[in-house]
Structure 1
Amino acid sequence: MSLTPQAVRIRRLLLADIAVALAATLMMAAIRVLWIDSTVLVALTAMVALCGVTMVIGLAPLRRGDLQRAVLWWAGANWGIAVVAAATATFSWPLMMLAALLPAVLATGTEQGRRLVAYVAVSVVVCTTVVLAGELQDVTGLSEATPAWIRRTLLALFTPALAAMVGLVVLQNSLRLQAALSGALDAQRELGEQADELRRSRARVVAAADRERRTIERDLHDGAQQRLISIGIALSAVRSRCHTDPDAAMRELEDLRDQVHIAHNEVRDLAQGLYPPVLSEHGLAEALRSAVDRYPLRITLDLRDPGRHLPELEAAVYFCCLEALQNAAKHSSAEHVLVSLGAGDGTVWFQVLDDGQGFVADQTSGTGGMLSMRDRLGASGGGLDISSAPGRGTLVRGHVPVDVG
């Protein structure tokens, strides 16, 4: 399996520490052969080699993605080297303090809560042990038997390596914290923008609802209501004429019947504009099939029935499709429109593609009709994408998530 960025960083540190342990093992073996004939040095060399092997074992859980176990193996190896080396080669205690602190520094980026407290506590105990062992005793006599130039050389070679590892871990943790803080600030800023857009969207929805109510009132007043009033007045006149001129009264009644049919159609069209019965009874696919006849366009339908969903979801998709068709009929000079509908990946989606004159999408994506579509879909958690260019037609794509549980 591929390693996460954090696992890659830990792996590099492990490999660096393994290299330091290997180098220390080889140098101590060389010192044993060339300068110091000591069984204590042999035991110390074996201990350092064993700790290096322990670090190598820690690579196995790291490959499985188990960062905590890998860090635990590595921490145990460092603590073991620190205590044993400080107790046998007392001159190395400043170097061993770095080895003892390294696990606690690394754990600040991998652990939290009680586990982090445990790493810090053990590192403090090991550091204290290292100082006491290095300063208060020299039971083995290895420090006295080691020439001063060898002691200085070992400290000069290995202190920068361990200090660099400690500094590298601190730097990495700082960069991770800065990245996390930056991500949190970006998320907060994005949430603020979404909240502002939500407030604007709500205001637009309220304004659109008011406009729709005024439009319905005007259509009823200027259309069906006026027609019904005139029918009522005409019926009063026909009633009085029935006795004087029955034939004329019958002709007027025939005309009034036609007027009643016209009024009925006006009321029906108005009701369908609010919420078509076919949508609630038969679903999206059938509602779109029945709606396209009212547009003066050559329309091709590619409708794969998405099934039944919540009424507000179906209404959002239906009216957005109609809005896109209306825009194509009014503004695009299109000859042909393709309407597609389907469901997949947890969404109901639609597309309306026309071959019209197109437009610069960035300049018109905020117009009333498109804002209305965005608000409709956004209210159900969906989204809208509009692709267009002058002379290349327009593609309106929308989707709404559905509950697949």
Structure 2
Amino acid sequence: MTPVEDVLRALAPRVLGTLVRRHGDFARCEDAVQEALIAAAEKWAREGVPEHPLGWLTTVAARRYVDQVRGDAARERRELAVLDASPRDALVAPAADAEPARDDLLELLFLCCHPALTAPSQLALTLRAVGGLTTPEIAAAFLVPEKTMGQRISRAKQTLRDAGARFELPSDAEHGPRLRVVLHVLYLVFNEGYSASAGPDLHRVDLTREALRLVRALHERLPASGETTGLLALTLLTEARGRARTGPDGVLIPLAEQDRSLWDRAAIAEATALLTHSLATLPLGPYQVQAAIAALHDEATSVETTDWPQVLALYDLLERLAPNPVVSLNRAVALGMVDGPEAGLAVVDDLDSGVLAGNHRLLAVRAHLLDQAGNRAEAAALFQEAARLAGSRPEQRFLLARAAELFSPRM
């Protein structure tokens, strides 16, 4: 990402928040900001970032908004009446140092994760409006045509308008449930970036970087939220292993074989401090427990020295707090490390008739446990089948390599 792109993505939600706060029309404001971002990317690439980039972007976006209103023939009279009744300087941003700073991130996130929207629409709108990604970038991330993603975003904005969604924080009664949706959306964005579901790359750094940036900004707004703190710690601890996850040829390197000297120790230390404070002072939730599991992995010098009984105990707790087949599948691996592969395979057998049936990760875990139990032939066949079902090419290559190793006689 270029320095100009970094600046634009950092400023995009601030500009959008300013416009939506002034005019209340999310759809038009978001379109205006996107046009301003395109104009800035072209102009700043040639001439450099201006002295007051926030003021520049806000001014251009505000003018684009006015152009949209005036260009809408069907509503021209009503919109112009509103504009004429409003102070004219409300439509043109003052200089960056003349406008009081205001952080609208939380309001924007709640708006993009409005309950009237479907989960895919929440993801897309968050990445575009708050993350600053373009429609082509979001379409590429989720492997859908650009036209399809554009339609999804347009429908999402229309849904917000039809639902009468307002640019404001929800009531106290709604705040907790809505915050859980916001955190879940950011968690999904990070996971898709860290382990891309399909495509040539295992790690989409653009997505993990955006998710981490947004979670960090959200934590700054809500430092007393245990789950926000937990999600920040979890993303830091997970991303800290990023450099060691792939080899020079892009193939996946599993946790057991990673060069731990490549892990980001500063990020691990920051996350551990956040987690320690959170567990001691804030209500416990699933993201904190997941972060605690990640911390046990990151603090161990090897797979063998990992405190697997404690990892298993945390997965037991996580299953009680947030029952989920993926949590149970991860618990099966930990159980195999503590009580032997047969114990882990029993858990996998129970999952085989549920929503994970036929999932490549379920097959890969079964193959891993069968290999540990000494059943090389069946493990190799399952690794091959998992590779056939996997959408990510780095995962496919890793699984096929595992199968080849097992088919080869041991020296």
Asked if these proteins are the same fold (TM beyond 0.5), I'd say no
**TM-score range, shorter-chain basis?**
under 0.3
Q: Which has the larger radius of gyration?
A: 1
